[in-house]
Structure 1
Amino acid sequence: MFTEQLYTGSKEENERLLLKQLEGLIEDEPSQLANLANASALLQQFLSDINWVGFYLLDGEELVLGPFQGKPACTRIKVGRGVCGTAVSRGEAVLVEDVHQFPGHIACDSASNSELVIPLKRDGAVIGVLDIDSPLFSRFDETDLATLTAFVNILEKYL
């Protein structure tokens, strides 16, 4: 899950370091934009085998592109469409091993083959999503989901 060259501890140590660094970056910063930008940069630094990581923020019935790391992306996604829109409509994370098999997948980057989307919530209501794409099939697993859900839970405290 983590870029081996940068983080040589055990997987558990690396996960703790990721969460601690996130908290340190955002705990004293009131700007949601700055916090999401730093969070996406931190994940880009920590995660291996990904080609896009960032946020979409809910605006009415659409998700609008927020801070991210990677190639230019789709600007707007309707709730219920694609992996991101599905995560919003369900109110839960969606882990896709092969995006080409996901009905209605939106291909912003044709190099993406797997995806993990985790909703961001405020007071129980979805306000956006963390979206991570990989060029590898089956890149994400339940351990990734648990760690990145903890990451999102920290973010939610400061949004």
Structure 2
Amino acid sequence: MPAETFLPPAADLPKADIYDDLKSQLDGLMAGETDLVANAANMAAVIYHGLSELNWAGFYFMKDGGLVLGPFQGKPACIRIPVGKGVCGTAVEQGVSQVVPDVHAFPGHIACDAASRSELVVPIRVGGRVIGVLDLDSPVPGRFDEQDRAGCEALVAVLVDHIG
């Protein structure tokens, strides 16, 4: 699917339908492409423009034992995050998605954008190893729930299916 044919899902759809739509569009955008950075860049744009109430959507990838900023949409972000620090580092350390309704209540939260109030981080696993994370921030407290977690895990699975 050519990038210019991306259409954000209607905001009034049920969340499950929004994620199904995004998953289908990502699969089409990534068809025939295996480059991680290219696919992550398009995925960040699709998520940022396809989900409501986000102020940041992007990736951090493992490099030299820590997370390094990858493709994203939103304001400039923290460049390096140690494993075990903040929501992203915790997701890597624990190997599970993190749904944080109030980032100010999260011990050790790293504030890259003071406007962020809630966060969702999904580890990206290839061959049993975490290679990075998908990170979403929102200025709305409690923006993310278990449906968002499941939906974003499904989107990450599309990315993993399309990298070489």
Q: Could you state the TM-score of these two structures normalised by the residue count of structure 2?
A: 0.90
**1:67 and 1:119 mapped to 2: Cα distance?**
15
Structure 2 unaligned regions, length at least 5? 1-7
Q: What corresponds to 1:138 in structure 2?
A: 142
Whether 1:10 and 2:7 are equivalent positions in the alignment is no
**In 1, Cα distance between equivalents of 2:38 and 2:82:** 25
C-alpha root-mean-square deviation of aligned residues, in Å? 1.4
Q: How many residues align?
A: 155
Mapped to 2, the partners of 1:14 and 1:126 lie a distance apart of: 26
Q: AA paired with 2:147?
A: T
Q: 5 Å matches for 1:1-80?
A: 7=10, 10-11=13-14, 12-80=16-84
Residue type of the alignment partner of 1:126: V
Match of 1:66, SS state, is: strand
Amino acid at match of 1:31: D
Query: How many Å separate the matches in 2 of 1:106 and 1:59?
Result: 19
Deviation at 1:60? Answer: 2.5
Flag structure 1 segments of 5+ consecutive residues without an equivalent: none
User: Which residue is 2:3 aligned to?
Assistant: none
1:89 aligns with 2:93: yes
The reply to whether residue 155 of structure 1 matches residue 159 of structure 2 is yes
TM-score of the two chains, using structure 1 as the length reference: 0.93
Inter-partner Cα distance in structure 2 for 1:10 and 1:83: 29
Amino acid at match of 2:55: N
